[in-house]
Copies of this chain bind each other. A is one copy, B any other.
């Protein structure tokens, strides 16, 4: 055979992506055999029953098939018709043509306005790139920031395995910094300094620092002081920042508030640290994972480097156009006071209220189990509880046993990284409330009996 396992590169073989790893493949087999599986392995809200927002889908239907605006206009609210007409006027080739490599301008302008309103800072449509979900944006930026096999990227431990997988594929070095589980999984300056010092001692040049806020898999929401500390650290060590902010709408407690890296850097007057921030339609209250819509914004990037970013983006021509329109719906919801606006607000609140309820319920339920300890799920869509295991057992074995006995599909902590000697798993908060309650109950029974 011309292509065998022996032919594959080490970086390909070494790549791991636990979120769709062996436990999930086994779950799929069991499902095909007729078992009921509760998929808590991935933040995929609509697969677990969340409904799409009416406005977004109406807008996409009109952009896909503009003839509806003439012969079926009565089936659509005025606000949606107006927005669809605006998009198609500004981008007359509609969804069928490649757009500019950065994405259609009317959407990038809406993103810039969204950032200006969210943060009260300037934002430029030319610094925004529409991407196929946040994942593709992260992969392109990582391709830019590492040049040599001895270049390193700081990533949180635990982290979302997109980061480790992409860095492995690039043949660069992962520099894991431990999040402080005792302090709600915040970033610790000591840990960051320690990670950089060790890397340098090992001949690795730290190039960039990834932060996920709100945290995946941790559920943590960083406060402004923590972000200031990180920006200051990045500046002192000349690190580019990748701020994964896809869960910015998923903040559940009154005492927390999402603060963007862009806003903090602006307030600090920092202009020599390059910042890439990422957002996505897949999370928040939209949960439109299947549309693969997202954007990245760059700040403090020299024009000649931005030209290189544009070139890399061009090789894949452009992100998908329905995803670009979904981004428009995300950053510019219908005006309140219109029927569309009222419905949108109602649907959004229902989803966010329910997510909040489930975040509380799950953490509380897990903490009632002897041998499980879970931080508050302050944000994002996950809990990452620590579990006490019988001697000699691994978290991967635990999660496989959990799947086989209960049908609950979660991902072992080893897939995200954890302090040596500890064990965790990641579960989403996404099953509907009744199912989530059932799940906690089954999990508690399983855990008590696990030997």
Contact = CB atoms under 8 A, between A and B. Distances in A.
Interface in A119-178: 132-133, 135-136, 139, 143-148, 162, 165-166, 169
A52 to B, nearest CB: 5
A8 B305 contact: yes
A12 interface: yes
Contacts of A78: none
Given A9-B147, A314-B20, A320-B322, A57 B47 contact: no
Interface stretch (A67-75, A332-340, A361-369, A407-415): A67-75
This chain: how many copies in the complex? 2
B292 A146 contact: no
Most chain B CB within 10 A, of A20, A166, A238, is at A20
B291 A96 contact: yes
A320 B97 contact: no
A17 interface: yes
Contact of A133 (B46, B274, B317): B317
A249 interface: no
A3 interface: yes
Contacts of A93: 46-47, 290
B305 A4 contact: yes
Interface range on chain A: under 10, 10 to 19, 20 to 34, or 35 or more? 35 or more
Nearest to A168: B315
Interface of A: 1-5, 7-10, 12-13, 15-17, 19-20, 28, 42, 44-47, 50, 52, 54, 57-58, 60-62, 64-65, 67-68, 71-72, 75, 93-101, 132-133, 135-136, 139, 143-148, 162, 165-166, 169, 207-208, 234-235, 238-240, 272-274, 282, 287-292, 300-302, 304-305, 308, 311-312, 314-323
Given A12-B144, A162-B315, 20 more contacts: A1-B273, A2-B238, A2-B239, A2-B300, A4-B302, A5-B302, A9-B146, A9-B148, A28-B100, A45-B96, A47-B93, A60-B65, A61-B61, A96-B287, A97-B290, A98-B282, A98-B290, A135-B315, A135-B317, A290-B318
